[in-house]
Amino acid sequence: MSFVGWLSQPAVLPWAALVFGLCVGSFLNVVIHRLPRMLEREWREQCAELHPGEGGSAAATASARRIASEAPYNLWAPRSACPSCGKPIPALHNVPVLSWIALRGRCGACGAGIRMRYPIVELAGGIVAAGAALRFGPTLAALGAMVFCWSLIALAAIDLDTQMLPDDLTLPLLWAGLAFNLGGTFVRLAPAVIGTMAGYLALWTLYWLFKLATGKEGMGYGDFKLLAAIGAWLGWQMLPLVLLASSIVGASVGIALMAFAGHGREKPIPFGPYLAAAGAIAMFWGPDITARWMPLLA
């Protein structure tokens, strides 16, 4: 039996997917930490070029050159380092989940605490990969479900940290969903295209109705694009479930934060994580849920 054939065995594939997903989760932590900073650096460079300020164009040029001369900072460089002491993290201390447990959640060099989010993201990356392998088997759909859920994990964490859903992730996720559905991997192409349009327009309409009624912005444009991307993957039929589930969970968490954590009404709560969670639920269990419960709600 070939290695690929052995790897595709039902008893092996979920475990292999789990290990691979844990490694992807480790990379997702890099994306979550660095992508917002990469975008901020790009914006500063653009602002320095477009807005000279009091010093005139010469000052703007000097500022742009200074930003451009900074050390490379992207998803690949520099090496991962401790945010507290700045020392590079050795490979032995970078094993997903296990290293965090072995180090008791602290940096091996300076002893500073490491956020719980890092092993949680790694574990989530492994669990969704194993779940996709169990749900879809050795198929293109399993790979698609992994890519979809990994992207949702990164977007949810970035939104929690920065209240931002970067186009650098939402738009590729949208186009990837349409590409996977060219051959009907999850739904036919027509429902996927309609889902893209309906997902964006649904939240865009709610946004403007809320703004006209209250004068405030209830959500960001990134939420529109994320729901459009979910529609591209799952089709318009799943959008009612995604909206209902995300709204219920979001409202429940918001009320709990205000009641028990002193979260002010004026302080915004990111909606992206709830959309992401609802999208993942719909990917794995959407057809079963809609077939069983939606007729009762109707």
User: In terms of residues, how long is the chain?
Assistant: 298
The residue whose two tokens read 């990969």 is 129
Which pLDDT does position 218 carry in this prediction? 76
The answer to whether the CB of 250 falls within 8 A of the CB of 192 is no
> Structure tokens of 175?
């186009």
pLDDT tens digit sequence for 170-217: 999 999 999 999 999 999 999 999 999 999 999 999 989 988 888 888
Question: Which amino acid is residue 39, in one-letter code?
Answer: L
pTM for the full model? 0.89
Res. 264 pLDDT band, cuts 50 70 90: low
Return the closest-CA partner of residue 238 out of 202, 205, 287. Answer: 287
Q: Tell me the Cα Rg of the chain.
A: 22
The strand pairing partners of 113, in sequence order, are 106
pLDDT at 265 (0 to 100): 61
Q: For residue 78, say if its preceding peptide bond is cis, omega within 30 degrees of 0.
A: yes
Q: Could you tell me if 232 and 195 are in contact, meaning their C-beta atoms sit under 8 angstroms apart?
A: yes
What is the rounded average pLDDT of the residues 285-289?
Answer: 89
State the number of CA atoms in the 13 A half-sphere of 72 facing the CB. 6
| Single-letter amino acid code for the residue at 189 | L
What is the spatial distance between Cα 177 and Cα 191, in angstroms, rounded to a whole number? 12
Q: Environment class of residue 200 by beta-carbon count within 10 Å: exposed (0-12), middle (13-18) or buried (19+)?
A: buried
Q: Residue 237 in contact with residue 291, Cβ under 8 Å?
A: no
DSSP 237: G
- Please give the mean pLDDT across all residues of the chain: 86
Q: List all residues 6 or more positions away from 14 whose beta carbon is below 8 Å from its beta carbon.
A: 130, 133, 134
Give pLDDT, residue 259: 66
Average pLDDT over residues 34-38: 92
Q: Is residue 223 predicted with pLDDT exceeding 80?
A: yes
H-type helices in the chain, by residue range?
3-7, 13-50, 56-68, 98-102, 117-136, 140-162, 167-180, 189-214, 221-234, 239-260, 272-297
- Picking from 127, 111, 131, 109, the residue whose alpha carbon sits closest to that of residue 119 is 127
> Span 217-242, mean pLDDT?
93
Q: Reply yes or no on whether the pLDDT at 61 is more than 80.
A: no
